[in-house]
Amino acid sequence: MDKFLKRFSLILLMSFHSLSFSLNSYSIDSDSNKLNVLWISCEDMGPILGAYGVNEISTPNIDKLANEGIKYTNAYSTVGVCAPSRFSIITGMYPARIGAHNMRSGNFYTYKNPDSLKYKSNRGVIDKSGKNVPEYEVVTPPNVKAFTEYLRNENYYCINNNKCDYQFNSPFTAWDEVSRGASFKDRPKNTPFFYVKNLMVTHESRIWLRKDEPITVDKNILKIPTYYPEIPEVRNDIAIKYSNIQEMDRQVGEIIKDLKESNLLDKTIIFFWSDHGGNLLRQKRAVGNSGLNVPLIVRFPNGYRSGQVDERIVSLMDLGPTTLSLLGIKPPSFLDGKAFLGKYNSKPRKYAFGSADRFDESTDMQRSVIDGRYVYIKNFMPELPLIFKNKYREQIPMNKKLLEMSNENLLSGDSNYIFMKTKKTEELYDLKYDPYEVNNIANNIEYNDKLIELRKALSVWQNEINDKGFIDETDLINEFWPNMIQPITKSVKINISNNKASLECDTKGASIGYQIDSQIGSENWNLYNKPFVLTSNQKLVTRAIKIGYKASSITLNK
pLDDT tens-place string over residues 243-295: 999 999 999 999 999 999 999 999 999 999 999 999 999 999 999 999 999 99
Sign of torsion over alpha carbons 476, 479, 484, 487: negative
Catalytic residue numbers? 82
Same structural domain for residues 337 and 417?
no
Give the per-residue pLDDT at 389: 86
The angle that helices 319-326 and 82-91 make with each other, rounded to 10 degrees, is 30
Residues of the chain with pLDDT under 50: 1-22, 24-30
Range of 443's domain?
366-482
Transcribe 531-542 into DSSP letters: -EE--TT--EEE
One domain for residues 412 and 314? no
Q: Mention every residue, 6+ apart, whose C-beta is less than 8 A from residue 163.
A: 41, 86, 109, 110, 198, 200
Q: Is residue 233 domain-resident?
A: yes
| Structural domains in the chain (count) | 4
Domain assignment present for 95: yes
Q: Do 39 and 4 belong together in one domain?
A: no
319, 348, 377: which is the final residue of a domain? 348
Phi, psi of 461 (to 5 degrees): -65, -45
Residues 207 and 344 in one domain: yes
User: Same structural domain for residues 238 and 377?
Assistant: no
**136 belongs to a structural domain:** no
β-strands 511-516, 540-545 pairing:
antiparallel
The reply to whether 372 and 472 lie within a common domain is: yes
Instruction: Give the Cβ contact number of residue 327 at 10 Å.
Output: 25
pLDDT for 438 equals 98
User: 92 and 197, same structural domain?
Assistant: yes
283 and 168 belong to one structural domain: yes
Domain boundary among 482, 515, 546: 482
User: In 10 A of CB 44, how many CB atoms?
Assistant: 26
SS3 for 517? helix
In a domain, 198, yes or no: yes
Kindly report, residue by residue over 427-475, the tens digit of the pLDDT: 999 999 999 999 999 999 999 999 999 999 999 999 999 999 999 999 9
Residue 387 and residue 441 in one domain: yes
Cα 29 from Cα 35, distance rounded (Å): 10
Among 460, 482, 504, give the residue marking a domain's end.
482
Contact 133, 477 (CB under 8 A): yes
C-alpha 339/C-alpha 360 separation (Å) is: 32
Q: Distance between CA atoms of 369 and 317, rounded to whole angstroms?
A: 15
Neighbours of 447 (CB within 10 A): 17
Rounded CA separation 228/315 (Å): 28
Whether residues 60 and 20 fall in one domain: no
Task: State whether 285 and 223 are in the same domain.
Answer: yes
Domain assignment present for residue 70? The answer is yes
> pLDDT value at position 24?
44
Asked if residue 544 belongs to a domain, the reply is yes
- CATH code where residue 48 lies: 3.40.720.10
Residue 32: predicted pLDDT? 56
Whole-prediction pTM value? 0.94
pLDDT digits (tens, 9 = 90+) for 100-135: 999 999 999 999 999 999 999 999 999 999 999 999
- CB-count burial class (<10 Å; 0-12, 13-18, 19+) for 522: exposed
Check whether residue 185 and residue 331 sit in a common domain: yes
d(CA 477, CA 12): 55
CATH number for the domain spanning 543: value is 2.60.40.10
Is residue 272 situated within a structural domain? yes
Q: Looking at residue 13, what is its pLDDT? A: 42
- Domain assignment of residue 536, yes or no: yes
